[in-house]
Chains A and B, each alone.
Chain A
Amino acid sequence: MHNTSLQFKKQVTIKLADVRLQDALSRLQSRFVGGRAAVISEIHDLQETRTAAAAIRDRVLNNLEHWLLHFEQQATARGAIVHWAETGDDVNRIVTEIAAQHNVKTAAKSKSMVSEECGLNDALEQAGISVMETDLGEYILQLAHEAPSHIVAPVVHKNKEEIADLFAEKHNKPRKTDIAELCREAREVLRPAFLNADMGISGANFLIAETGSALIVTNEGNGRLVTTLPRVHVAITGIEKVVPTLEDVTTLLRLLPRSATGQSITNYVSVLTGTKKPEDHDGPEHFHIILLDNGRSKLVGSEMQEMLRCIRCGACMNHCPVYQNIGGHAYGWVYPGPMGSILTPMLSGIEKSPDLPNASTFCGACAVVCPVKIPLPDLLRRLREKQMQLGMKSRQETFMLRVWTWLALHPKFYALGNKIGVRILQLMGGKDKLIHRLPGAGGWTNGRDFPAPAGKTFRELYQQRKQS
């Protein structure tokens, strides 16, 4: 997917003024923030569980090659074929080749953010294979030709009215506004797609090394149909998703749905192991698992490795006051919110996303809710340090920082500078003691007054008090 995060500031302006989006986002907050709060307390040893989950992820990441090879061995032994893809284009090529090999004309897809990284749907369409998204949210987006704005709730930026309009137009049927009726209408379109598909494409929330299984967590049941009905199943996921054992996965599953959607458990947890056996009622004849790197391996062993713990629950964005106000599209790539502000520069190019690591107040709400204890603000700060080292900061910012640091290290000049500064600010404050326009700080005064200081510094007044 093309990275447009250079447009971040422009997008922020647009999104803040988008009344429909703002309305949709206000509901997201109550649903997901409130939802998580309601069920997370079911885990009585929450902090210990988070620590254990982080340790499970670290154990894998500290020895990633071993666990991946172990997974490949086990998956292969059960009839799956494992493919290694360095880039998104490699994934597209591999899927297209598999499709050609099995004479695939149509594919049904369940939700996969990794496939968004690759731009898989476009690549398949170009190869003459028709693809149908079957996750309801993703299906709506496919009809609307839009990208997901949230990794768990992809269509969260749209309200019911917009979807009613879209369905009426694309399905060519009378407009419905009842949610159950809209769902039924989508189901009528999707059912034949499941039954006719030659290939099912899914993601994988986890890969289990000991059994060679791909595990998916879903609510709509489409994931099960996509992975069991078609002749060929292709699961695509990132190399970091491997977990040693089924028992390890159960720890992560205690946290994932609760953190993501406020559910104690999702409607479906599917463990997909190997191809269809003679005694099986269903399952694919061919099972391909594509493991994508796309820059992830560069993070292994680096000071950014903790980011690879991520289990894609979306809690960081749900709780982020920046995401809550602008939604996911403003971030410009596949992954939004705090995790996206780290993954986008790391996977898609640090120079292409100068704003993302900086567009955070470091409020820390994300780190508190992260189920695998990723220190998101610390990682964002490390990216800011990298930007500084790469000379990506503006000349003005670098100059201001240098001056400030120099003054702070030279107290006499600092005191003098402050003394003069506060007097100027006091004068600018005028009668109402508010500065309405401050040159160089328009970012502040365009939307806020700046309360003027009293005219003397603490340092001066304290000296006076000591002398009197």
Chain B
Amino acid sequence: MRVGLFVTCLVDSMRPSIGFATINLLEAAGCEVTVPAQQTCCGQPGYNSGDRQAAIALAKKFLDEFEAFDYVVLPSGSCAGMIRVHYPELFRDDPAMLTRMSAVAQRTYELTDFLTHIAKLDKIPGTFKGTLTYHDSCSGLRELDVYKQPRALLAKMDGVTLNEMVESTTCCGFGGTFSVKYGELSTRMADNKCAHITDTHAGAIVGGDLGCLLNIEGRLRRNGDHTTRVLHVAEVLSGMDKEA
């Protein structure tokens, strides 16, 4: 199957290794992966700040670049949710666009969801030895029902022990521009999350959305924790955490 990879703007600039890890996993699952060169951002910053027109313009751009693929995959529940759930809503008054957008939205998946339900990846390419704990990012969890998928994939790795934290499904406080606009509140929410992570004594905190991971890592480090590793699930599954 032909998969268009949307690496997302955060991965593009902040942690490219997640993009390569994603390619690695998709190829291991037998996909033919293409990375459209013109891709940029899904439009969520504008959309969630009240700039609907900006989101519509970027949704159209996405459609031009990704409509031709059998599937579109993103290493982010938040950006995948934007496309699957919110793109069609942007065109509720434009029936022709709505049809096209809904069709591609239904073929768009968050990475672990895709690997579990569509590509059915059985043999995990990476190796990992140690304990980890998993943070469920909000959009993936509540918009796309991503909860069991990453756990099922990680469970296939021999060396992985999962120590669940309490309230793994509670928001870490990232929320895009919220993290800067309401920094104090966001920091407190991150602090609560970090306390739950620390309580598990896991060697690594793993998640599926880089925004949340940067937020969690930022607070852990500021609190003086320089040892707990903060990893994207794609890095762990592909074995590319060694490079991160």
Contacts and interface: CB of A to CB of B under 8 A. Distances in A.
Nearest to A414: B40
B202 interface: no
A408 B41 contact: yes
A9 B182 contact: yes
Interface in B167-212: 170-171, 173-192
B107 interface: no
A192 interface: no
Interface string B120-148: 00000000000000000011001100000
B48 A362 contact: yes
Contact of A447 (B12, B52, B142, B187): B187
B38 interface: yes
B79 to A, nearest CB: 13
A447 B183 contact: yes
B11 interface: yes
Interface in B52-83: 52, 54, 57-58, 61
Residue from A456, A457, A458 with most neighbouring chain B CB atoms (10 Å): A458
B13 A365 contact: no
B140 to A, nearest CB: 11
A444 B184 contact: no
B19 interface: yes
Contact of B16 (A326, A404, A456): A456
B132 to A, nearest CB: 18
B182 A459 contact: no
Contacts of B47: 381
Given A401-B51, A405-B54, A358 B41 contact: no
B159 interface: no
Contact of A322 (B52, B185, B191): B185
B183 A446 contact: yes
A397 interface: yes
A16 B182 CA distance: 12
Nearest to B36: A411
A411 B39 contact: yes
B50 A451 contact: no
Given A418-B13, A444-B218, A447-B222, A397 B184 contact: no
A16 B179 contact: no
B227 interface: no
Given A405-B46, A446-B184, A451 B217 contact: yes
Nearest to A455: B16
B173 A321 contact: yes
Chain B: interface size category: 35 or more
Interface in B205-244: 214-215, 217-219, 221-222, 226, 230
Contacts of A407: 40
Given A358-B178, A381-B50, A450-B214, A13 B170 contact: no
Contacts of B190: 447-448
B30 interface: no
B7 A458 contact: yes
A457 B16 contact: yes
A424 B178 CA distance: 24
A421 B13 CA distance: 8
A441 B41 contact: no
Contacts of B185: 12, 16, 322, 325-326, 359
* From A443, A448, A461, residue with most partner B Cβ within 10 Å: A448
B180 A361 contact: no
Contact of B218 (A368, A381, A389, A449): A449
Contacts of B215: 448
A397 B192 CA distance: 28
A305 to B, nearest CB: 16
B214 A441 contact: no
B38 A411 contact: yes
A31 interface: no
Contact of A363 (B16, B175, B188): B175
Interface in A346-369: 358-365, 367-368
Contacts of A448: 187, 190, 215, 218-219, 221-222
B1 interface: no
B183 A364 contact: no
Contacts of B49: 384, 388, 393, 397, 401
A359 B176 CA distance: 11
Interface in A412-468: 414, 418, 421-422, 432, 434, 441-444, 446-451, 453-454, 456-459, 461-462, 465
Contacts of A360: 175, 178
B13 A401 contact: no
Contacts of B54: 401, 405
Contacts of B230: 451
A388 B171 contact: no
Given A12-B184, A405-B51, A449 B221 contact: yes
B151 to A, nearest CB: 20
A421 B221 CA distance: 22
B155 interface: no
Contact of A362 (B7, B15, B17, B175): B175
Contact of B173 (A361, A401, A446, A458): A361
A385 interface: yes
Nearest to A357: B50
Pairs of residues from A and B, 5 with the lowest C-beta to C-beta distance, nearest first: A361-B175, A443-B183, A447-B187, A448-B218, A384-B50
7 contacts: A361-B186, A365-B142, A388-B51, A404-B41, A404-B45, A451-B230, A457-B12
Given A359-B178, A367-B142, A387-B50, 7 more contacts: A364-B138, A401-B51, A418-B9, A443-B181, A454-B15, A459-B12, A459-B37
Interface of B: 7, 9, 11-17, 19-20, 35, 37-41, 43, 45-52, 54, 57-58, 61, 138-139, 142-143, 170-171, 173-192, 214-215, 217-219, 221-222, 226, 230
Interface of A: 9, 12-13, 16, 321-322, 325-326, 358-365, 367-368, 381, 383-389, 393, 397, 401, 404-405, 407-409, 411, 414, 418, 421-422, 432, 434, 441-444, 446-451, 453-454, 456-459, 461-462, 465
